[in-house]
Structure 1
Amino acid sequence: MADRSNEPVVVIGLARFGSALALELTERGVDVLAIDSNPRTVQDLSGRLAHVVTADATDIEALRQLGVPDFSRAVVAIGTNMEASILTTSLLAELEVADIWAKAVSRRHGRILERIGARHVVYPEYDMGERVAHLVSGHMQDYVELDEAHAIAKVGPPGELVGVPLGEAGMPARYGVDVIAVKPAEGGFEPAGPGTVLAPGDAILVLGRISRVERFADAV
């Protein structure tokens, strides 16, 4: 399978989310065409992005003139203007951009984007709110939901697991989660296996259904 990681990307909408995304992609060596309707925003980013232009992304002719149909990947980072977000996404689909990512501000907004051609919908504010809520209210050091049912959490190991090989601890049966990686107090993350023995000060990554990950973290 061909490596698509460095294929050019169109980023439309350069508010906080879109500008951060465009700058990060550029840092990673990806060629980015950044588009926004606000000339001041474009001017502010002109020294940091190689290709940033002022244009109305709800105008299909403007998108054609900018060569957007030649791109296989695009991100619609417009959030608050739902009408512009939806229309821009539909135009990208009409221009046969194969891989469309779109920012949504609500589940309803996201469902509409999916129906009109977005292959991936992201909810930055919603996802960050859920993540911070888990960190503030529990014992997790980090938390990421993989889908509607599963999550990964970074936690310290319960005392009862310290000094016991994971293969003998019976994590799936006892807690309904799997330890997939371990980070010693000194060092980086390493894959966990049946022979892994946890020590005080370790951090572990556990994977499982959201309710079980939360229950495990509460027991730490």
Structure 2
Amino acid sequence: MADSTRFDRGSRSAGATARSGKDSGVLVIGLGRFGSSIASTLDGLGQDVLAVERSPELVAQWSGRVPLVEADATNPEALDQLGARDFPVAVVGVGSYLEASVLITGNLVDLGTPQIWAKAISNEHARILQRIGAHHVVLPEADAGARVAHLVSGKMLDYIEVEDGFTIVKMRPPRETQGFTIAQTKIRERYGVTVVGVKSPGQDFVYAEPDTRISPDDLLVVSGHADLLERFAARP
């Protein structure tokens, strides 16, 4: 193993994951706030994950908490040594340093990684990552800002934009729907959105059926185009 690559033996599966060769798991590069959140969440869910970080300080901070290796991922030889080509999914959490982000993403493209998720800090950064081969580009601050804007503007309690404007929201039911069944409200016909499910206080979530009755204290999970959902959520 080269000097630039050091496995954290204290992590419960770092070495085994990197050398498994079983074509499974997620490689997370960069243990800043974005990368560390992804790595720790995946590890907590029982997923095979290996974090890669070049900073000794961050390696020390996360040692024993997630499977990790200290390495410089801008060096293609280091990535090859830690078995990066065996991971079907890689997340590039290095966003603040444009050159490093581009080099790491390019290295993963050269390795033939099937799915590359990369963090970007601007639209220009995102375009560069897409052009060199990143399959999914995430702009965490912009996405979070847009999400909060939707939440503070109406009765929406949660907001997830999936793709091309298609969105899923959690919201309080408008007054005109309360006490009526899904069929009676004609929500889809009138507003172009679909009630996916209903969560009543103290009850399990249920998928919406035509005879599902909406109560004032219910929470609705609704899908549709963002503009149509905004219109529906704006109802008193």
TM-score of the two chains, using structure 2 as the length reference = 0.86
Which residue of structure 2 lines up, in the alignment, with residue 176 of structure 1? 192
For residues 67 and 7 of structure 1, the distance between their equivalents in structure 2, rounded to whole angstroms, comes to 11
For residues 145-181 of structure 1, what are the alpha-carbon distances to aligned partners after superposition, in whole Å with 9 as ceiling and x for unaligned?
A: 1123121111111122122221122112211211111
For residues 112 and 163 of structure 2, the distance between their equivalents in structure 1, rounded to whole angstroms, comes to 27
1:45-124 → structure 2 map (5 Å cutoff): 45-50=62-67, 52-124=68-140
Which residue of structure 2 lines up, in the alignment, with residue 31 of structure 1? 48
Return 5+ residue gaps in structure 2 as ranges: 1-22
Please tell me whether residue 44 in structure 1 is matched to residue 61 in structure 2: yes
Superposition deviation, residue 85 in structure 1: 0.7
Contact 1:7 1:30 in 2 (8 A): no
Superposition deviation, residue 63 in structure 1: 0.9
Which residue of structure 2 lines up, in the alignment, with residue 150 of structure 1? 166
Return 5+ residue gaps in structure 1 as ranges: 1-5
For residues 54 and 10 of structure 1, the distance between their equivalents in structure 2, rounded to whole angstroms, comes to 13
TM-score of the two chains, using structure 1 as the length reference = 0.92
Contact 1:180 1:205 in 2 (8 A): yes
Pick from 9, 25, 34 the counterpart of residue 8 of structure 1.
25
Q: Secondary structure at the match of 1:135?
A: helix
For residues 1-52 of structure 1, what are the alpha-carbon distances to aligned partners after superposition, in whole Å with 9 as ceiling and x for unaligned?
A: xxxxx922111011001011111111111222211111100111012023x1
For residues 120-165 of structure 1, what are the alpha-carbon distances to aligned partners after superposition, in whole Å with 9 as ceiling and x for unaligned?
A: 1222211111111222222111111112312111111112212222
Which residue of structure 2 lines up, in the alignment, with residue 125 of structure 1? 141
Contact 1:153 1:205 in 2 (8 A): yes
Q: Which amino acid letter does the alignment assign opposite residue 16 of structure 1?
A: R
How many matched pairs? 214
CA RMSD of aligned residues (A): 1.5
